Amino acid sequence: MVDHALFNVFVYLAAAVVTVPVASRLGLGSVLGYLLAGIIIGPWCLGLITDAHAMRAISEFGVVLLLFLVGLELSPEKLWQLRGPIFGGGGAQLLGCTAAIAALLWLTMAMSWQATLIGAAALALSSTAMVLQILSEKHLLNTPAGHTGFSILLFQDLAVIPLMAMLPLLASGASSAGGHGGRMALEAVAAVVGIVVMGHFALRPVLRYIATTGVHEIFVAFALFLVIGIALLMESVGLSMALGSFIAGILLADSEYRHALETVIDPFKGLLMGLFFIAVGMAVDFGLLREHAGLVALLVVGLVLLKIAVLYLLSRFAGIPLQQRPFFAIVLSQGGEFAFVLLSLAGAQGVVGETQQHLLMLVVAMSMLTTPLLVLLHDKLIAPRFNRAPDRSHDPAVAEQENPVIIAGFGRFGQVVGRLLMANDIGVTLLDHDPAHIERSREFGFKVYFGSASRLDLLRAAGMDRVKVLVVAVDNPKRASKIVALARQYFPQVRIVARARDMNHLFDFMEHNVRYAYRESFDGAINAAQGAMEALGLEPEEITTSIARFRDYDHEVLETMYRVRHDGDAVMAAASRQLQEQFHAMELEARARHQAG
């Protein structure tokens, strides 16, 4: 008999595989594809899955992973730079939208002032999952609209904490809840302080210890253990799980293990985010919608239009360019995933009635369906009205985050290359899979990220699609060849500079059309020969000429051997014959110079 949970997983994946590619091909975006998948398999269509609430509880962990990855992109310094947009823009958005939505609810649903306040605040929250997914798909995270949007989302996540703390005060038993609320506040502060202390002092040594095992599966397990543990800790003290993972991500943003953690978490995040949107689609209660169609339509339209109006007004004061303002207002116009949490708690504590709670949750789900459609409408009708698309090439945030060179392998060879490039003010991203190399490099002030550059996902996370040069300086010849092959296949525009262990390794690089490949011991031997000639009293000009001619001859030998490299006997015969000819030619040249002198 097929396990019920396994069948559910099969249905989720099948729905996503069928609907998301179709929606993407039609230009509707992956988010709408997931929402439609949830509607189709949910209790009001095919009825393949009936417990939408249980699925949403699991899939909300995708939001936790998403905020962890976002935190990895923000060092504490960058977060401090965003303090104005976070508290200024975020506070203005929440207060403005809450006031406008409260008026709408007061006029349409005749709720108590307590229910109106908490309901309006819940609907004023936007969907972190949806907004960041759309911004990421459209590569707009590093635009003014993306920065301001992210700041508002972060403030909303922070605001969930005091909103949840308000619920006992709004409920009938407010007077008896004061001590409990104070204890929860102390526990929350202690949890946040604990995460900060642990992240600052303990995480890096633990990650280094895990990395020294060389077992990739253990590194994956620890990364998931870390995020899940922090999420559970935050939930146990009544805080947002996503907020805790975001703080942990920020603490590791400057860590050399950042890129490795990104590559581990990202696949899980993408899948769980998809499941989250499927769960939202399943949560659309078509029975309730049919019963209150007019009211739901009025609330959804009113919610979206009011938020667009407030956000567009805010965008003018936030300094967002004119061409980005409509998109900024549209992409944040829906209700958010934390509204489900807040409304559920409000219903459990009697602040909001059961029918009102379900109606507002339905409005949130329906508003999420509108955003992908409005974004599509914006792309088709609004964006073309501007003379040009937003130009992000001069955005300082983009320029600061991109380095033109990646060095794979920061051992004795890579360090020389890196030091010379950095001395000439050339930005370099350093990758190495050896924790000993990383620790030694940190002692000299270098920032090296942990991970094997032979993994395609790590190269992408390090920005390989944007760099100009990849320097392959790893010790292992097979790994070096694999890195070059990956780079040639997926990033053909990148120029490759490679370190070859020996002549056969050099031939491997030549087969991949690597123009800049250097044998690691060749130049050292040349320098040694130069020193010997200087010690023997040869003139500098004679030494320079001799070395230049030797390099030319050596290149000719390599070309000859490369052409017959698959025939061992022919290689040796050709090399021996050409070497004898070149030695004879160089000897004649040297005699001629001596006679002329």
pLDDT in tens, 293-307: 899 999 999 999 999
Question: Which residues does residue 432 pair with via DSSP β-bridges, in sequence order?
Answer: 450
Q: Is the pLDDT of residue 11 over 90?
A: no
How many Å apart are CA 171 and CA 26, to the nearest integer?
A: 47
Q: Is the pLDDT of residue 2 over 60?
A: no
pLDDT grade for 564, boundaries at 50, 70 and 90 = low
Q: Within a domain: residue 128?
A: yes
Three-state DSSP class for residue 111 = coil
Q: CB count, 10 Å around CB of 108?
A: 12
CA–CA dist 423, 440 (Å, integer) = 19
* pLDDT recorded at residue 167: 72
Residue 270 lies in a domain: yes
Q: Are residues 362 and 415 in the same domain?
A: no
In a domain, residue 455? The reply is yes
pLDDT at 33 over 70: yes
Evaluate whether residue 453 is within a structural domain: yes
Domain boundary among 332, 363, 385: 385
Q: pLDDT at residue 266 above 70?
A: yes
Asked if 561 contacts 575 with a C-beta cutoff of 8 angstroms, the reply is yes
Provide DSSP, 272-295. HHHHHHHHHHHT--HHHHHHTHHH
Residue 38, number of CB atoms within 10 A of its CB = 31
Residues 421 and 453 in one domain: yes
First and final CA of the chain: distance in angstroms? 95
- For the residues 319-339, what does the mean pLDDT come to? 87
Say whether pLDDT at 572 is over 60: no
How much is the pLDDT for 561?
66
Tell me: do 142 and 243 sit in the same domain. Answer: yes
Q: Read off the pTM.
A: 0.56
Same domain, 287 and 404: no
For 186, residues 6+ apart whose C-beta sits below 8 A from its C-beta are none
At residue 541, does pLDDT exceed 80? yes
Of 520, 547, 580, the domain-final residue: 520
Number of domains in the chain: 3
Q: Read off the pLDDT band of 391 (50, 70, 90).
A: very low
Based on the domain organization, do 238 and 127 belong to the same domain?
Answer: yes
Would you state the pLDDT for residue 389?
Answer: 42
Considering only the C-alpha atoms of the chain, give the largest distance between any 2 of them, rounded to a whole number of Å: 110
Cα 399 from Cα 560, distance rounded (Å): 44
| pLDDT tops 70 at residue 343 | yes
Q: Domain for residue 180, yes or no?
A: no
Domain range holding 549?
Answer: 529-597
Evaluate the CA torsion angle 371, 375, 381, 387 in order and state its sign. Answer: positive
**Do 541 and 485 reside in the same domain of the chain?**
no
**Mean model confidence pLDDT for the chain:** 77
Take residue 48 and report the two structure tokens written for it: 């393949």
pLDDT value at 479 more than 70: yes
Give the strands of the sheet with 428-432, arranged side by side. 448-450, 428-432, 405-408, 469-472, 495-500, 516-519
**Which amino acid, 216?**
H
More confident residue, 262 or 492: 492
Tell me what the mean pLDDT of segment 121-137 comes to: 85
What pLDDT score was predicted for residue 183? 63
Task: Give me the amino acid identity at 390.
Answer: P
Cα atoms found within 13 Å of the Cα of residue 350, Cβ hemisphere only: 6
Domain co-membership, 381 together with 411: no
- Domain end point (choices 353, 385, 417): 385
Q: What pLDDT score does 536 carry?
A: 65
> 575 and 492, same structural domain?
no
Task: State percent of the chain over pLDDT 90.
Answer: 8
